Amino acid sequence: MHSFQELIAQFEQQFSQWQFPGEPATLYEPAGYILGIGGKRIRPVLTLMGNELFDELHPDSFQVGNAIELFHNFSLIHDDIMDKAPLRRGMPTVHVKYNESTALLAGDVMLIYVYQFLNKVQQRYQQKLIAVFNKAAIEVCEGQQLDMDFEKKDPAQVQYADYVHMIGLKTSVLLASSLQLGAIIGGGSEGHQAHLYEFGKNIGIAFQIQDDYLDAFGDPEKFGKQVGGDILVNKKTFLLLKALEMCNGVQQQELRRLLTYTGHDKVDRTLQVFHDCKVDEWAQQEKERYTQQAFNHLEAIAVVSGRKKALLEVADFLLHRQH
């Protein structure tokens, strides 16, 4: 059994030894660039943990971890093109540093390399691994499309339940599947795999609620980026969509006015409405509810509790950070 930090170090050590081919450098250098600018490697480490929950670490978990980390970075490159994002992890995005065509193609070839890794695992569970991975990969694409569709809509037109569905696809299913893939390699039963998947999915949603909460109510000194950034760009968040549902008629009018308002006190006035309709309290409770659901699923997995230690560490890392 390894701790969260030990698994990060083990994964990073082997992943950093792998490289794309040298030629054509115009294709593979941009692909290597995004892998080199960091990232916490949370998803592949979840695969290692899913494996270790049931059995000793198997080399296949590293292959699958590499596949997941490549897929995650592929989706970042392409999302950044779609979102016209200038920065990623504080560095220029791939399409800004190189160009859009190269970023598009580097993402494509990275997605093919995902399956190079998935093609190295033992045959006895290969089809199952690819099936579970593909389901998540397809859902991530569907989530990105739904997110783009929502972007075009007025916030009042977006149903809160639809938003939870979208954010689950976009941010949680890959976390959930990363765990499940490890459980398959470790020999966990179908039932245990399902519980572990739900643990990951609920942690992912709790994380997203907290992310939205901190953007609005975080301590500026600890948060590290501008508090209220989501409010300034009218981003559809858990807080905004739920506030529109919870608040009374007067508050609703104020909130809708604030969406087109650009004055210097836009953030403060929006936070005041959030506070008045108690969506801040609701968010804390909702995060707690998803966290509790996650732990119930983890609880249902019948292995000695020592085996769950690393998973509790990663949940703590994701859910108790202030930045």
Contacts with its own copies, residue ranges (CB under 8 A): 24, 26-27, 78, 81-82, 101-102, 104-105, 107-109, 111-113, 115-116, 119, 123, 126-127, 130-131, 134, 137-138, 141-142, 144-146, 148-149
Three-state helix/strand/coil letters over 177-226: HHHHHHHHHHCCCHHHHHHHHHHHHHHHHHHHHHHHHHHHHCCHHHHCCC
Our measurement of the distance from residue 51's CA atom to the centroid of its chain's CA atoms, rounded to an integer in Å, reads 20
Q: How is residue 3 written in tokens? A: 């701790």
CA distance from start to end of the chain: 29
Cα atoms in the Cβ-side hemisphere of radius 13 Å centred on 150: 24
What is the residue-wise DSSP string for 231-297?
Answer: HHTT---HHHHHHHHHS-HHHHHHHHHHHH--STTHHHHHHHHHHHTTHHHHHHHHHHHHHHHHHHH
Closer to its own copies by CB, 34 or 247: give it: 34
Q: How is residue 42 written in tokens? A: 């949370």
Min dist. Cβ of residue 252 to its own copies (A)? 28
Closer to its own copies by CB, 62 or 113: give it: 113
Min dist. Cβ of residue 104 to its own copies (A)? 6
Min dist. Cβ of residue 191 to its own copies (A)? 23
Closer to its own copies by CB, 123 or 305: give it: 123
Closer to its own copies by CB, 111 or 303: give it: 111
Closer to its own copies by CB, 11 or 113: give it: 113
Closer to its own copies by CB, 7 or 67: give it: 67
Min dist. Cβ of residue 146 to its own copies (A)? 6
Decide: residue 309, CB within 10 A, 0-12 exposed, 13-18 middle, 19+ buried. Answer: middle
- Preceding omega of 21 cis (within 30 degrees of 0): no
